[in-house]
Amino acid sequence: MTGGYPIGGMPKEFSIVSAGFIGPVPYTVIYMLVIYALFIYLLGYTAFGRSVYAIGGNKESARLSGINVNAVTIGVFTISAALCAASGVLLSSRLTSGSPDAAQGWEMDVIAATVIGGTSMYGGVGKLQGTLIGMLFIGVLSNGMVLLSINPYIQDVIKGVVILMAVILNSLQTRRSV
């Protein structure tokens, strides 16, 4: 609809959604902490959270245990879509425009942070605390590479190598525990 061009002209009030502060803390940090706490509770202390881990570990075993795999899967995808929409609103608010390629390439950072944080590529294992640590690591790595003026294409290669090393370490740990 836009021909791939950004849409500008957002009302100034729209930028307050992500650009505001409570004291020295930005709204976006507060949003992240609230959502983080909510999902720590959801995954760690509810039947839905246990079902998510069970399905990630072994879908068929979860089904045989009486978990409605389709309902939980739809729930997870619905939550994911809602969080993606909220992220899009926050990014548009921060940029005060709607750009179709504003977050291009961020999916690699998300995968890297998740794997570095200890989430198994095979499913059923992982904690949000580890993902937060992985996210901080990737943020520091990305920022450091920008400050060192490393070519953006080389940055992607470096992040890919980091993901590969994390997957290899995860595979080795999985073999040892079996």
- Over residues 36-52, mean pLDDT: 95
Q: How far apart are CA 39 and CA 84, in angstroms?
A: 15
- Over residues 47-54, mean pLDDT: 94
Backbone angles phi, psi at 139, to 5 degrees: -60, -45
* 21 bridge partner residues: 26
Residue type, 171: S
Q: Confirm if 103 and 129 have CB atoms less than 8 A apart.
A: no
- Report pLDDT for 30: 95
- Report pLDDT for 3: 84
- Over residues 8-31, mean pLDDT: 90
For 134-173, write each residue's pLDDT tens digit: 999 999 999 999 999 999 999 989 988 988 888 888 778 7
Q: Which of 7-16, 40-49, 98-107, 166-175 is the least confident region?
A: 166-175
Cα angle, residue 59 at apex, residues 129 and 69 outer, rounded to 5°: 90
Closest CA to 87 of 38, 13, 130, 95: 95
178 HSE (CA, 13 A, CB side): 6
For 73-129, write each residue's pLDDT tens digit: 999 999 999 999 999 999 999 999 988 888 888 888 898 899 889 888 777 788 899
Task: Give CA torsion, residues 149, 153, 155, 161, to 10 deg.
Answer: -150
- Report pLDDT for 160: 87
Does the pLDDT value for residue 178 go beyond 70? no
